[in-house]
Structure 1
Amino acid sequence: MDAVDQIPSTVDLDMVRAVFETNVFGVIAVTNAMLPLLRRSPAPRIINVSSGGASLTINGDPDGPFTGLPTSAAYSPSKTALNALTVQYANELRKDGILVNAAAPGYVATDINDHSGFLTPAQGATLLVRLATLGADGPTRLLQRGRPRALVAVGRPGASTARGDAPGVGAGQGAWRAARCCAPRRPARPSPPACPRPAR
């Protein structure tokens, strides 16, 4: 899917519907279908795959990391909606002991960026696995951005924010730094610098 095809003023509504069908309505369908099994599980977890592009704060900053990227009427808004949906599921299912979180794995090499990302799929999955294996006292309604061996928490259980930004609305300064470092490359420009890797 070409990002240029998502420019709001010229976007094909059928394409927008298809993206929302996958990233929002599809999540509702799969989650609701799996809830009977999750309620029987001793450690039920739901993890939605979000994106740094979901943040309204980052996208709305004229000096932000996504400033030079094409605007999006499909992918980014669908991920923003997914973050909002994650919060609503978390609020409903908290009483059942089901932890519901969202994660933005980082700039992973995938088809959507022509495999220009500097993280491997395995590295991107590390954050998802961590959230899937949280203990019973783990957080819910959390949005995390990931980098290799580094996590940036945005929301905390019992509070809507870590730094005044609700999940899906803002990303806090820690996630801002990650987004600035890990933002997708701008068209016709070199790839962004890789985030610093922790020493082994």
Structure 2
Amino acid sequence: MLKKLLFWQPKKDYYHFLSNHSLGKNLLVSTNYLIWVFLFYVSYLLIKNQTNIFWQLLIATIASEVIEKILKLKDYWKRPAFTNGNQVARGLIKAWYTKGSFPSGHTIKAVFFLLFILQYPVISLPFFLLVIIPLLAIRVLIGFHYPIDVLGGIVFGIVIWFFARLISAPLWLNQITTSIFNLVFFIH
């Protein structure tokens, strides 16, 4: 019963359905990358509010990428959309989608960003959840992940945030970061 829940997938192959229509392919690709655009915006708000968070986000992002890549190389299980012969849609990076699916990198980052905005409230929590939850749910529904991948991403996101939040860059480094940030984003 638990295995059935952790590896749940809808009866209909939504990935196959969407990838056979041009509008569907665009939806697959856009929902995959939309989260990164949104998290970049949240990063901007966080760093503008608290410069030191740049270093916390940088370390958290690097840690999440390393953990995700190492675990996906283990190939515990294939992504559900590709266990039945579906091809990777144009616009998605094939190397990322032909490896294992555990853990969900989108979820890892969404969780540590959620915890950072709880720590530094720069955006409405309901708005953040309104954007993130559907994007993560779609990843399970279309077969990029199983629920266990998302749960694993939640755990890793919490652990990464727990350690990254402790990072405190020296004042001089934060001053340099602020100057560069202000220059890049035309602030003052």
TM-score (norm: length of structure 1): 0.32
More helix by share: 2
Q: Which has the higher contact order (CA 8 A, sep 6+)?
A: 2
Highest Rg: 1 or 2?
2
More strand by share: 1
TM-score (norm: length of structure 2): 0.34
